Structure 1
């Protein structure tokens, strides 16, 4: 059995409108281009997650929606999970441990520094997580509770500028 976890940092966001709250910040033009690009790359690789979950922040949710469009995942099925916003690597692992064991492939959309810290914790090969980067971890296990307790069998990092 294999469990595959994708951690996707939201695409480049805009800071132009200082009256918006952090949760309301939208993607900028580059972000709106990078997210579909990464979705197309995932689609070409045949990535078909059982679950897409996103932080409630507009920039993360928009990134999730644009990627979902490219991989054929229905936007209406994206789960908005507040635990993916302003959390810690420990809190993110708790979300992973609570996943239904029937799910074999999950994709989370969120933020730095939490996502970068978690990727580095899961694999020392992961140093940086630029905007719209996709970190992929495959674990030879049938239990999500093993993630972080065993090393990944495969690690891959892709980013728009690669």
Structure 2
């Protein structure tokens, strides 16, 4: 079985209007939310083998934070330039090309592509993955290239303001 964890980057800082979108860092809330959400994964025993991330600063910083909290080697962070501003079909192509030696991967990126991908992979009713939101999807396949739209089963949807009762 293959598992993909879709993670939208943590909240970014818009304060410096001189910065290009690609270079925006995390703001204070994002710096708080990223380790909090990674901690929820750790508590649940959900630790991806690799983190495939957009190289945009806010996504890469989110990936590095997740790696630190989950004790994932930094060498397991794969920067994939195609994730930045990607459509759901481009993101699916990235998933389809993952190395089959990995069974659990996280894809860290941006909206709207990430939300559209979640909806298309498992017919989810998620309207918008908020910043630092996560969607875990399981697939009944042994190869990443077998994954296609509507073949997954959503197992988790969590986000910073989702407080367990």
- Return the TM-score normalized by structure 1: 0.94
Tell me how far apart the structure 1 counterparts of residues 90 and 154 of structure 2 sit (CA, whole Å): 23
Tell me how far apart the structure 1 counterparts of residues 5 and 103 of structure 2 sit (CA, whole Å): 11
Tell me how far apart the structure 1 counterparts of residues 154 and 30 of structure 2 sit (CA, whole Å): 27
Tell me how far apart the structure 2 counterparts of residues 149 and 60 of structure 1 sit (CA, whole Å): 24
Aligned-pair Cα RMSD in Å: 1.2
Flag the 1:16–1:145 CA change in 2: closer, same or farther, 3 A.
same
Q: How does 1:34-45 map to 2 (within 5 A)?
A: 34-45=33-44
Quote how far apart the aligned CAs of 1:156 are: 1.3
Give 2:96's aligned residue: 97
- Return the TM-score normalized by structure 2: 0.93
Quote how far apart the aligned CAs of 1:149 are: 4.3
Give 1:66's aligned residue: 65
Aligned positions, number: 161
Listed one character per residue, the Cα deviations across residues 102-158 of structure 1 (whole Å, up to 9, x for unaligned) are: 110000110001101111111232322000001100111112122224522343101
2:153 is aligned with 1:153: yes
SS state at 2:106 partner: strand
Tell me how far apart the structure 2 counterparts of residues 74 and 160 of structure 1 sit (CA, whole Å): 24
Structure 1 residues not aligned, in runs of 5+: none
Give 1:77's aligned residue: 76
